[in-house]
A and B are shown apart, each in its own frame.
Chain A
Amino acid sequence: MLVTLGGKYGRAFGVAILVTASVLSLAGCSNSAGRADASGESASDANSSSSDLKGFAQWVMPLDEFRVYPMQLDNYAEQLQLKNCLEPAGYQWPVPWQDTNFPQPEDFNRTGYRLFNKDIAAKHGYHLAPPQNEKEAAAWVQFDQFSQSYGDDAAFHAKFSSCLDGIRSKDGLKYMNDANYISELGSQATSVAKQEKAVQSAVERWRSCLTPKVSFAVPADPWAEMPPISVGEQFGIIGQNRTATPTSDEIAAAVADADCRDSSKVSETLYLAIQAQQKKLVDKNRDKLDRIRADATQHQKDLLRIVAENAPAAP
């Protein structure tokens, strides 16, 4: 696996994600969500209803209903089709079994959002929770290593490209682009939400709470920068000296972090702000999102049929 340019396969799909630029103009206009006070604060607990927070623990969002299936299903079906195309030509392509429910570790929700709370912090610190099926994960790592064993074999890569072209000839990258369109809307909502005064105030409360409790400089963004690089190295979650389990120091820092997120309501405030922005985006882009969902629902059936007809037996 390698993220790089065209290279050995010599093809580049340059596709620009659609930008709903008008959404960016919503920055700082949270009052229109109906949860703002006169000071410009919004999404506070005082103005939020229990129904707004119903999905908070799992970070359920309005755009989720349009994410019909995970992108990994596209890859699994495609890999099985590649196997059918490559193996008659004499190339092994041992695609492992994969659970099409794609169960997530306990620190991710069903859409791939990484969760962080006191329970997770106490068990895993900042480390990732183990995969639901470690054997399956290991099999895919092994398969990936095998897939690279063809190296620079030009005949193999020519066949591989030919096979992939045939598989994608009908729809191209449509479903990938559709999924990324939804992600794009989600990202826009997050960007706007993070600019809200209520969120920024909550972030400052979080930083003020956490700073005296940890030995490192607390970053500006609790959702995108924790822990900082040097601390991540110290805790063994990044760098050359990774560890499988957290130390007591790491757990202490993570629990303090989670406590401060609770007391400052920073996550809750961001959740409500993103939720409000996503609702606006769903309303604004309803027709396209409905079309994407309908297409994806049908496509999911096709993908599951391909898997059912071609997948190896479950171990």
Chain B
Amino acid sequence: MWTAPNFVSDTFHDPNVRLTFQNCIDNFGRYGYLDNVSSTYNNGGSQGSFLYTGTYQQGGDYIGMWIQSGYASLSSTYNDHLRSGYYSGALGLVNSSTCL
């Protein structure tokens, strides 16, 4: 996930400055990405991913991405409004030590 559109960071427009995760992140705030994501891509090969407007899969609204797909420019209601992310296998996982 990146803080600017087109898969780059706000700072220096660097594609390598990004937040990546496997399985899940319950709170982007732990990594400085709370309400700060503008483009996103699911580079996985086996599971869809879901990004929520609330921490811990809360908020009710989420954007889903198939494997090998993403959004170069999130819409205004999701841009800078995402707070947690999960791959489908991690949805509802209890005590997932693999979450960031």
Contacts and interface: CB of A to CB of B under 8 A. Distances in A.
Contact of B22 (A2, A140, A226): A2
A212 interface: no
Contact of B27 (A188, A229, A236): A229
Interface string B83-94: 101011111111
A46 B64 CA distance: 37
A12 B41 contact: yes
A130 B1 CA distance: 28
B43 A224 contact: no
A180 interface: yes
Given A1-B87, A187-B53, A188-B77, A147 B41 contact: no
A304 B76 CA distance: 34
A220 interface: no
A226 B58 contact: yes
A223 B7 contact: no
B90 to A, nearest CB: 8
Contact of A75 (B26, B29, B56, B66): B66
Interface residues of A, number: 76
Given A105-B92, A127-B94, A140-B89, A180 B45 contact: no
Interface stretch (A18-26, A28-36, A37-45, A196-204): A18-26
B43 A3 contact: yes
Contact of A183 (B19, B61, B92, B95): B61
A11 B21 CA distance: 18
B79 to A, nearest CB: 9
Contacts, number: 229
Contact of A242 (B57, B76, B99): B99
A79 B48 CA distance: 10
A5 B18 contact: yes
A244 interface: yes
Interface in A206-239: 221, 223-226, 229, 232, 236-239
A69 interface: no
A17 B75 contact: yes
Contacts of B48: 71-72, 74-75
A225 to B, nearest CB: 6
Interface in A64-120: 71-72, 74-75, 78-79, 104-105, 108, 112-114, 116
Interface of B: 1-2, 6-7, 15, 18-23, 26-27, 29-30, 39-50, 53-78, 81, 83, 85, 87-97, 99
14 contacts: A2-B22, A3-B1, A3-B20, A112-B91, A128-B94, A131-B92, A144-B87, A183-B62, A187-B53, A190-B60, A191-B77, A225-B55, A232-B56, A239-B30
- What 6 A-B pairs are tightest by C-beta distance, nearest first? A14-B72, A224-B54, A1-B44, A17-B75, A187-B61, A147-B46
Interface of A: 1-9, 11-19, 21, 24, 59, 71-72, 74-75, 78-79, 104-105, 108, 112-114, 116, 126-131, 137, 140-141, 143-144, 147-148, 160-161, 164, 173, 176, 179-180, 183-184, 186-188, 190-191, 221, 223-226, 229, 232, 236-239, 242-244, 274
Given A2-B20, A5-B15, A14-B72, 5 more contacts: A2-B44, A79-B46, A232-B26, A238-B30, A242-B96
